[in-house]
Structure 1
Amino acid sequence: MKSFILSKRITPEQLFMLSVLIVNGGNYLYNLILGRLLGPTQFADAAVLVTFLLVLSFIAMTFQLATAKFSVLFESGLFKSFVLRVYKNALSVGILLGLAIIIFAPQLQKLFNTTTSQMFVIFGCGVPFYFLMSVNRGIFQGKNELKSLSVTYQAEMLSRLVITLLLIYVLSSVSFSALIALGIAISFLFGLIPFSVKDISFKETTIIDKTHLKSIRSFFILTAFYELTQIVINNSDILLVKHYFEPYEAGLYASLALIGRIVYFIAWMFVMLLLPKVVQLKKENKSASKVLFKYVLYIGVISFVIVLGCFLFPKTIITMLFGESYISMASLLWKYGLATSMFALSNIFAYYYLSLDKYIPVIISGVFGMLQMALVVFFHESLEQVVYMQIIAMVLLLLIQLTFYKLDYKNR
């Protein structure tokens, strides 16, 4: 009886948030185990693959967010025709991108100083499945089927963790980088569970009119642009450090980034919930400001706690998570966490306005994403300097996003 009452009290949102925390915890465990097993030098290769995975997730997020938004706006036959088109386009983009990674694998090996090009070939083979998976998730997100959305994330995370460790244990003579890439590629197939077959109609029953097509294209283009800024802000530092610094230092920095980004990954779950709510409120001609600031408050409190913890106990955190060999990064931990916190907060404002079809904050994010990258390119004498450049860019980004919101609110 108690368990029944408890289950009644847990809302689908709370269940999804709990699921996301478990998924993020599993992904952290995956990276922590790899960091301890491989050591800083070999972990640098693994970090490149994980970064490629994050880059891929941001590109595919364009399809997921568009599917989620129009899942709210479109009904019945129109929605099924839309979903069929998105699946076709996502698969085409996935195949082209996968082929590009495979073809340019030798060049990627040289660019990022990895031990083998084989890891890029294996990774490229899995890319098309990731794009299909993202459209599937977009359907669940837009339809508010949070249980199914939770399952697909859980399936991807658990399969990657278990399969990768099994491969490393059983095939220890094979390149670790190739085995990690294989584990990632296989996890994309598991991430398709459950697959929303009922929403696919292979015969277009409803023609999408020009007005809707224009709206879809505009959202796709602007979301793609914004996700590009996410890629630059979230991942350019690791790739640039891998390019400019020795493998050992790059591995140390990868451990720092992994711990410091916990704020962003927690904020991501609020973004997943924010977009459909804002779109629905706009559809009903209601204000979404309260929803925005509820999530800003959540992320602000979480960010403060994490950054404070990193400031007070940096050595303890790094030793517990990665071991003594990474301890030299302790002094930079809270600083990196501060930069990530600023980005996570500004990111909520950008997605809020993206949901409302207002795109100036998206352009602002793009400008500061390029600024961050330029600062790191010109100022990288030490890992500490790389972190400072990110703090400068992200603090300025948040201040301008807040200023835009204040001006926009006054003009309503």
Structure 2
Amino acid sequence: MTTHKLTLSPEQLFMGSILLVNGGNYLYNLILGRLLTPAVFAEAALLITLLLILSFMGMTFQLAMAKFTVIFSGSTWKAFHRYIYKAGLFTGVGIGLLVVALAPALQQLFNTSNFWMFTAFGFGVPLYFLMSIKRGKDHGKQHYSRLSLSYQAEMWSRLLLTLAALLLLPAKPGLLVGMGIAASFLFGLVPGGINLNVFKIKERLKPTAHSHVSRFILITASYEFTQIIINNSDILLVKHFFENTDAGLYASLALIGRVVYFVAWMFVMLLLPAVLERQKRGENTNPLLYKYVMYIGMFASTIILGCYLFPEVIIQLMFGKAYLPMAGLLWQYALATSLFAISNIFAYYFLCLDDYIPVMWSGIFGISQVLLIILFHSSLDMVVQLQIVVMTFLLISQLIYFAYKNIMR
């Protein structure tokens, strides 16, 4: 009688790891929500939103590193390796210094109790860009075990360091959260580390390769900017237009509703190298897209239904009674996020194939969302419902474009 061992593929292990990371990040947010009042939690949520914005910026370099790790080889790969690290470090230092310099202005803009929280965050920015590039290399080579370790190290260090700081140190909570976030980037760099010899490489990218890389980075950066607008502008605008208590309540709503988006990212990470490899072999890439859209659609439907049927139970379990006023909006926010997550799968699919029209759609609808919230923000209900409308039209535009591209083949 033979026995069969149950073995998991690297991709399955990575999916499990990312689910654990998302769970840990939710635990991090829940602990902050439980320890802090809604008004104070609004400041912590602001830093978490800035972290999400930073993650979109870093994703430009991570995706570029992943894509060209698959495409380039030999001296061209060496030249690109040097180029991407220098560009990432330059960008990270520049943005970090800008955040530190503008910290007092950010305090005034977002009505926070101090500006040191922004200063602490700014010092960590260069580390995040280096970490993103290192992850991109592991991503492109499909070294999912090392990639998973990086995400785990970042998440657990942020959770444990922030919790310890809040319980043991007398400083302002916003500053402690900012310090915990910055320190976690250093831990995320540890698995695999960075070979500093990359900065000594003498090879230079040839004009054609340089043009290809520059175009991809520019277009990807533009798309990530639209992601920043769509995924974070609502929290920033609510923090600006509403009282701190309302902003804290809305932040709890957003953190629960965005679970769909965070899970969708897991599939985007798996989609990118798979599409590039299949395209390289001249095979049809559509089945991959169908598979991941189906996964996200099924998961999103489950989350929306749960938020519709049990909103009070979910909010009370996760954040407590103080956040119950948001119960009626929970399923609506989950719907808006789900529409965006599915649209995102289409956009990244086309981005892999060097088709940038969906980036334009995302930019148009992202700006529309910001303008609509600025003009119409009489209540939190209106803010959420405007997002549902905009995200519905964004998804429709992506579906129409996908159908058009397949008809024209």
2:80–2:204 Cα contact (<8 Å) kept: no
Q: Map of 1:7-406 to 2, 5 A cutoff?
A: 9-171=7-169, 173-197=170-194, 201-204=198-201, 206-406=203-403
DSSP 3-state at the match of 2:198:
coil
Contact 1:83 1:200 in 2 (8 A): no
SS at match of 1:385: helix
Letter of the structure 1 residue corresponding to residue 123 of structure 2:
C
For the residue of structure 2 that corresponds to 1:318, the secondary structure is helix
Superposition TM-score, scaled by structure 1 size = 0.97
Correspondence 1:5 to 2:2: no
Residues 252, 326 of structure 1: 8 Å contact kept: yes
- Which segments of structure 1 move beyond 2 Å, counting only runs of 4 or more? 195-207
Q: Distance in 1 between matches of 2:200 and 2:100?
A: 33
Normalising by the residue count of structure 2, what TM-score does the alignment of the two structures yield? 0.98
Shift in Å at residue 53 of structure 1?
0.3
- Is the Cα contact below 8 Å between 1:81 and 1:201 reproduced in 2? no
Q: In the aligned structure 2, how far is the partner of 1:202 from the partner of 1:89?
A: 11
Number of residues of Structure 1 aligned to a counterpart in Structure 2: 408
Q: Is this contact kept in 1: 2:86–2:199, CA < 8 A? A: no
When residues 95 and 199 of structure 1 are mapped into structure 2, their CA distance, relative to the original with a 3 A threshold, is closer
Displacement of 1:196: 5.0
Q: Which runs of 5+ in 1 are unaligned?
A: none
Q: Please state whether the residue corresponding to 2:282 is helix, strand or coil.
A: coil
The CA distance in 2 between the partners of 1:29 and 1:252, in whole Å, is: 17
Which letter maps to 1:31?
A: N
1:195 to 1:3, Cα distance in 2 relative to 1, 3 A = farther
CA–CA separation in structure 1 for the residues paired with 2:329 and 2:59: 30
- Contact 2:134/2:194 (8 A) holds in 1: no
Give the aligned residue type for 1:43: F
Aligned counterparts of 1:103 and 1:76: Cα–Cα separation in 2: 41
**Alpha-carbon distance between aligned partners in 2 of 1:398 and 1:335, rounded to the nearest angstrom:** 16
Residue 221 of structure 1 aligns with an amino acid whose one-letter code is L
The amino acid across from 2:8 in the alignment is I
Q: CA deviation at 1:77?
A: 3.0
1:80 shift after superposition? 2.3
Partner Cα separation in structure 2 for residue 342 and residue 282 of structure 1: 27
Give how far 1:203 is off.
3.4
- Deviation, structure 1 residue 370: 0.6
Please tell me whether the aligned partners of residues 85 and 199 of structure 2 are also in contact (alpha carbons under 8 angstroms).
no
Quote the Cα distance in structure 1 between the aligned partners of 2:113 and 2:193. 39
Alpha-carbon separation, structure 2, partners of 1:176 and 1:386:
28
Q: Percent identity?
A: 54
One-letter code of the match for 1:154? Q
Is there any run of 5+ residues in structure 2 with no aligned partner, and where? Answer: none
Distance in 2 between residues matched to 1:394 and 1:375, nearest whole Å? 13
Give, in whole Å, the separation in 2 of the partners of 1:198 and 1:102: 28
Secondary structure of the 2:37 match is helix
Shift in Å at residue 207 of structure 1? 3.3
Write the distance in 1 (CA, Å) between the matches of 2:397 and 2:368.
14
Cα distance, 1:76 vs structure 2: 3.2
Give CA-to-partner distance per residue, 1:110-135, whole Å, 9 cap, x none: 10111110100111011000000000
Name the Cα RMSD after superposition.
Answer: 1.4
